[in-house]
Structure 1
Amino acid sequence: MRNADAMVAAGKSVGEVLQALEVSEATLSRWRSQYGGMKSEEAKRLKSLEEENNRLKKIVADQALDISMLKEIAKGN
């Protein structure tokens, strides 16, 4: 994101920036809306937190499945 803004400020067209970064205009727009006012450290922290959140959600889903299976087994006994 910062690279794109720097390239545009240096006088490159948006098309040249998209080609240099090898992204679509939609991707650049999404990056701007998602990470627009963030510094790179903040964006890295956000990405790290999102990854941790996804990992924890998977753990909870696995535990819920285990509980559900144990309940089904307990019904049979």
Structure 2
Amino acid sequence: MKSSKFSPTEIAKILKEFESGKSLDTIVREYGVSKVTFYKWRQRYGGMEASELKKVKQLEEENAKLKRMYAELALELDMAKYVIEKKL
């Protein structure tokens, strides 16, 4: 997963600015973020405080790491089964 150039605190600040009435075009231009990215942030993190946002980001990173670990272990298991079957 590509890491964001924006910290959770900055994302929360950008979302708060939009909620307080700042136009989307101004935010996009000011921070150099695409509208698609902004709407994804809004969908995923809307209404969260910076501390909650940090926790969600941490959990997402941990989840991605665990998925990679599981995939590696599953591959090793498949290889072990294949080797055992070939020997018999």
Query: Would the TM-score normalized by the shorter structure come out above 0.5?
Result: yes
Displacement of 1:23: 0.8
* Contact 1:7-1:17 at 8 Å conserved across structures: yes
Unmatched segments (≥5 aa) in structure 2: 1-10
4+ aligned runs moved over 4 Å, structure 1: none
CA contact (8 A) 1:18 1:24 kept: yes
Higher helix proportion (structure 1 or 2): 1
* Aligned partner of 2:36 among 16, 19, 26: 26
Instruction: Indicate the residue corresponding to 1:37 in structure 2.
Output: 47
Work out the percentage of aligned pairs sharing the same amino acid: 36
Contact (CA 8 Å) 1:8, 1:17: kept in 2 or not?
Answer: no
Gaps of 5+ in 1: none
2:58 equivalent to 1:58 = no
Distance 1:30 1:7 in 2: 14
Relative to the length of structure 2, the TM-score reads: 0.73
Question: RCO (CA 8 Å, sep 6+): is it higher in 1 or 2?
Answer: 2
Which amino acid is 1:71 matched to? K
Larger radius of gyration: 1
Taking only aligned residues, the RMSD between alpha carbons, in angstroms, comes to 1.9
Is 1:67 the counterpart of 2:77? The answer is yes
Using the size of structure 1 for normalisation, the TM-score is: 0.81
